[in-house]
Amino acid sequence: MTESTRDNVADVPEPRSVITDELAIEIARLGLVRESSDVSTLRRVTELAARSVNGCAGATSVRWRWDRSDPPEPVISAGSHPALAELVDLQISRGEGPIFDVVTTHAPLSCEDTLAETRWPHYTPAMLRRGVRCFTTTLHETDEVLMTLTLYGVLPRSLDPRQLAVAALLIAQGGAAVSNTRQYDDAHRTAVQLQAAVETRAVVDQAKGILMHALGYDADRAFAELRRISQTRHVKLTALAQRIVDGDRIQGSK
């Protein structure tokens, strides 16, 4: 190698992942709760990874159920290509493979050339038949969410580790989106339950008021009468109260 060649090589910048304005917008959208679900989030993460990481020909992702006491179980998965989705299904059906090793050890792993890979004798031939010559699997782990993201290349060593920062960002944002969606759903469910409880209480209070006015009862006696009729007629208290408010005649009342 001549001095001039060495100078030219030194001037060549190292490959790196570039976050374009379009990609930045897409990553930000992953965190929008109202646009997210577990399935849609995983699909968008895999599609963005396949488009954005240099050397990546496709991707798959899996969300796992776990509570730190039992082994993680795959819940849903997504793939940028049907053939890659089949690789995930194959691992899930056997309960073994790279994704299971990653969630067991809580550490990422890579294969630079599947042709020389010996760790998964039942899985590696399936990758080769689908044209996969290298891959890397990483994970995002919090107290609430466990996700894995696998990137695949069609050439050996085409997934340069220096280019995987975008993949790490995607899975982290995707995991945050799943967590945010679950928290939003929990909060929404609680709000709906509280609203239903308030509406139920309002109807019961109206029915009590009607009995108090019509029969001269105090609040405690009116409520006791509602309960008595409810139990006697085998009608839910709220349904009975609604019928009284609607002006229906209730058999069995005094």
pLDDT, tens digit (0-9, with 9 covering 90-100), for 143-197: 777 889 999 999 999 987 766 777 777 777 776 666 555 544 444 344 444 455 5
State the pLDDT at residue 184: 42
**Taking a C-beta distance cutoff of 8 angstroms, is the pair 211, 225 a contact?**
yes
Strand ranges for the chain from DSSP E: 58-65, 73-79, 109-111, 134-141, 146-153
Q: Which of 169, 128, 120, 133 is nearest to 149 (CA)?
A: 169
State the pLDDT at residue 33: 47
223 three-class SS:
helix
State the pLDDT at residue 252: 47
Per-residue confidence band for 4, with pLDDT thresholds at 50, 70 and 90 = very low
Mean pLDDT of 15-35: 53
Mean pLDDT of 82-103: 94
State the pLDDT at residue 136: 92
- At residue 6, does pLDDT exceed 60? no
- Quickly list DSSP for 82-151: HHHHHHHHHHHHHT-SHHHHHHHHTS-EEES-GGG--S-TTTHHHHHHTT--EEEEEEEE-SS-EEEEEE
Mean pLDDT of 61-67: 85
Question: Which of left, alpha, beta for 68 (phi over 0: left; psi -120 to 50: alpha)?
Answer: left
Q: What is the DSSP letter of 35?
A: G
- At residue 74, does pLDDT exceed 70? yes
Look at the block and give the residue holding tokens 């139920």: 200
Distance between CA 217 and CA 202 in Å, rounded? 18
218 three-class SS:
coil
Q: Which amino acid is at 112?
A: E
Q: CB within 8 A of 137, min separation 6: which ones? A: 98, 99, 102, 108, 109, 110, 148, 149, 150, 151
In terms of pLDDT, which residue wins out, 50 or 9? 50
Q: What is the mean pLDDT of the chain?
A: 75
Would you state the structure tokens that stand for residue 69, as one six-digit string? 């006491």
State the pLDDT at residue 134: 95
Exposure class string for 214-229: b at 16+ Cβ within 10 A, else e = eeebeeeebbebbeeb
Q: Which amino acid is at 72?
A: P
77 three-class SS:
strand
State the pLDDT at residue 10: 36
Would you state the structure tokens that stand for residue 194, as one six-digit string? 């509280």
